[in-house]
Amino acid sequence: MIPGPFSYHRPATVADAVKLLANLGDEARPLAGGHSLVPMMKLRLATPEHLIDLHGIADLKGIRRDGNNIVIGAMTTQHDLLASEEIARSVPILHETALLIADPQVRYRGTIGGNVANGDPGNDMPALMITLGASYRLEGNAGGRDVAASEFYQGAYFTALEPGELLTAVTIPVPPAGHGYAYEKLKRKVGDYATAAAAVVLTMAGGKVATCQIGLTNLAETPLLADAAAQAVIGSSLDQATLKNAAAAAEAIMAPAADARGPVEYRKHVGGIMVMRALQRAAERTR
């Protein structure tokens, strides 16, 4: 289908974009990569009267190291992440996850800001961001504020973004040297959302897990941080019994919807398998 009529705006600065959002109100939508918004407009599920294209704002693009943090502009594409030596060196799980998003055509256009800000439970980056302890910079008419990724997601497509606010940057603490990482994703075909996916970042000491964080994708209305599953493996050498306990703890917090990817019990079961695989592969990378 063809989208309904709309007015097009292309601001050059964040301040201009925020001003447009404030002045135009609920009838305006920001446009990043467009992979969620444009299909909804074609189906007439979204009919904004104004589109605010963010591609002309140079300050929203780029990757930089700031002390022990990596700061990524919201309009940085998945392809940019894959091409970045800094990302590959400092946060390699981000590189691994970006490579599993959709296909090259989507990655050339899709942005990290759009992926994390949309609140879509099927997007891969939100669970990774809460696993990494990331935070988001939000800019609005009243000023800027920082929100932890773990506090940003409130429900399917509902986030901490207030009306008129833009997500402008993602800040990620650099994991310690020698850490292990893995993002395991089960999907039906190339380009599909995950049936289930798990992100793991851990450290080992003396052959045992010293620290661990586990995030889950598309297994509830929001990304999940599987704290009990992570605690289950700390102090262990990741033997099979411990892995099964971690999977069970992760499955206990899952609440996926039954859909074309499978019934609830199947999706929870494969979610547990993704957790076990990610834990094993992350541990192997510490050796």
**pLDDT tens-digit series, residues 33-86:** 888 888 888 888 788 999 999 999 999 999 999 999 999 999 999 999 999 999
Q: Rounded to 5 degrees, what angle do the CA atoms 90, 94, 95 make?
A: 90
> Are the CB atoms for 32 and 111 separated by under 8 Å?
yes
Domain 180-285's class? alpha beta
Q: Which CATH number fits domain 60-173: 3.90.1300.10, 3.30.1490.20, 3.40.50.1100, 3.30.465.10?
A: 3.30.465.10
> Phi-psi bin for 52: left (phi > 0), alpha (psi -120 to 50), beta?
beta
pLDDT tens figures, 222-259 = 999 999 999 999 999 999 999 999 999 999 999 999 99
**160-187 residue pLDDT tens:** 999 999 999 999 999 999 999 999 999 9
Question: Which CATH fold topology does 7-52 show?
Answer: 3.30.43
Residue 148 to residue 230: CA distance in whole angstroms: 19
Strand order of the β-sheet with 7-9 is 7-9, 50-53, 28-31
Note the pLDDT of residue 46.
85
CB 155 within 8 A of CB 114: no
Alpha helices in the chain (DSSP H): 14-24, 37-42, 78-83, 85-90, 92-99, 104-109, 112-117, 125-132, 149-152, 227-233, 240-253, 264-285
Tell me the C-alpha distance between 129 and 223, whole Å.
Answer: 9
**Domain spans of the chain, in order of start:** 7-52, 60-173, 180-285
pLDDT at residue 39, rounded to an integer: 80
What's this model's pTM, rounded to 2 decimal places? 0.95
pLDDT band for position 262 (50/70/90)?
very high
